[in-house]
A and B are shown apart, each in its own frame.
Chain A
């Protein structure tokens, strides 16, 4: 019997802000731009509202990547939510680095409502990178 090796398809959890990135993803869809279907999108009001607990939960539950999409710096609907999200990402990455978890699995990018192509490209790029990293090793841990 020949076992067919399935290619690893990463699961990515994407937190997209209501005003820019989500609209960007919408535009990618309505413009019929093709991008890998690996991302599971969760709409949030602002990238600044994504607490580290949600990122950590996705990671510890076994998501292979976490994507946070916000408005470009200066364009935040709430003025400075994305700047704060950026600082939080820096903190989270610093902690992950110290405890030796893969910070490369967390991406934060700015995608505006008019950048459907950029959203699709970013998703392609991220899926490729996560495929290179391989499956999240945390997924098989049942004792955490």
Chain B
């Protein structure tokens, strides 16, 4: 692991990163780059797969996450791994999700070079596209970072309580925390792949690492504190009454499942007709209960989804963002995932070699469960 300095030209942080990314393409280190770039309407930034360096004009620090980049990597490497290296610029939550997908045999990162960026948090899609301030959202978030104003009011709730905004498991990291983003950025080289990517670039070594290390530590501590506070305050959805109320507005659209990077099943059980009954069965059920809401099974869907994904939940908050009726899903998913992950002493996305809790077991564990 080594740290280098990327000098920022003309206080243009995004432009400097773009220049670096263009060099990666020009020097053929990567054949294509998957990176956030603004769509022509400038309303939003999307992951874009770019091979032409001239057309690369990315918006890497755009504070928006419309879709999961990890899901995209999983989708494009479903059949086989890339024959030529592809670079992907990812936020920490997406790298965590990708690690989980690799463990689930749903993604192949053999020829994927992960370029992690320090995340300053993201805004809801609609806030981003109709941004109420005079500056662009990207400028806004970089400015508030420079001013050390870290209480950004537009953050999504999941970003306020992010597990870790600094990427782990990336081949290289483009670092903001602890750096003066108008002067210099940190480039951290973590792996052989990363070393290869930066071969031929003359970058100075980062000599004084103290600022960076301090900022990373502080950021992590602050986020953990926020997270713990959130869990403490929000763990009040208890009992069937509260649950029914919480999911009142759910229309069974399954958007939360479709957008979730961890929900990888090609066909979800709930999209199939497994739980569709024949009409007389419905009538029978109505007669038995007197009445019931249609479409039914929304709580069954949510509790089952929790059972299937919380152990690997990376806290990206896409489920909440995708909900058409703004059900604050984080308030229930975060406490559940925290408790479940603690139960199995598992941190999703931290170690690619670590086995997932649901595929391993010990013969002498949890004996009280089987015999009271």
Contact = CB atoms under 8 A, between A and B. Distances in A.
A117 B339 CA distance: 37
B289 interface: yes
A36 interface: no
B263 interface: no
Interface in B349-368: 357-359, 361-363, 365-367
B335 A98 contact: yes
Interface in B298-353: 298-300, 303-304, 306-308, 310-311, 332, 335-336, 339-340, 343-344
Contacts, number: 119
A144 B239 contact: no
A56 B339 contact: no
A94 B244 contact: no
A53 B300 CA distance: 7
A56 B358 contact: no
B244 A144 contact: yes
Interface centre among A52, A91, A110 (most CB of B within 10 A): A91
Interface string A90-123: 1111110111110000001110000000000000
Given A53-B300, A98-B335, A142-B290, A91 B343 contact: yes
Contacts of A101: 239-240, 243
B1 interface: no
A143 B361 CA distance: 38
A73 interface: yes
A108 B289 CA distance: 28
Interface residues of B, number: 47
A70 B292 CA distance: 34
A17 to B, nearest CB: 13
B235 A98 contact: yes
Contacts of A98: 235, 335-336, 339-340
B363 A100 contact: no
Nearest to B308: A52
Contact of A91 (B292, B307, B362): B307
A86 B335 contact: no
A74 B363 contact: yes
A13 interface: no
A143 B248 contact: yes
Interface string A45-78: 0000001110011001000000000100110000
Interface in B263-291: 269, 275, 289-291
Nearest to A57: B300
B369 interface: yes
B133 interface: no
A64 B332 CA distance: 24
A92 B358 CA distance: 12
Nearest to B340: A94
A138 interface: yes
A87 interface: yes
A90 B369 contact: yes
A80 B370 CA distance: 14
A141 interface: yes
B366 A137 contact: no
A88 B298 CA distance: 21
A53 B307 contact: yes
Contacts of A142: 289-293
Given A90-B366, A143-B293, A100 B238 contact: yes
Contacts of B291: 142
Contacts of B370: 70, 73, 82, 86, 108-110
B300 A56 contact: yes
Contacts of B299: 60, 144
A56 B303 contact: yes
B358 A87 contact: yes
B371 interface: yes
B300 to A, nearest CB: 5
17 contacts: A53-B304, A60-B300, A60-B303, A73-B367, A84-B359, A86-B369, A87-B344, A91-B343, A94-B340, A94-B343, A95-B340, A99-B303, A100-B240, A142-B289, A142-B290, A144-B293, A144-B298
Pick the 9 closest A-B CB pairs, nearest first: A100-B238, A83-B361, A52-B307, A144-B299, A142-B292, A100-B239, A53-B304, A143-B293, A98-B336
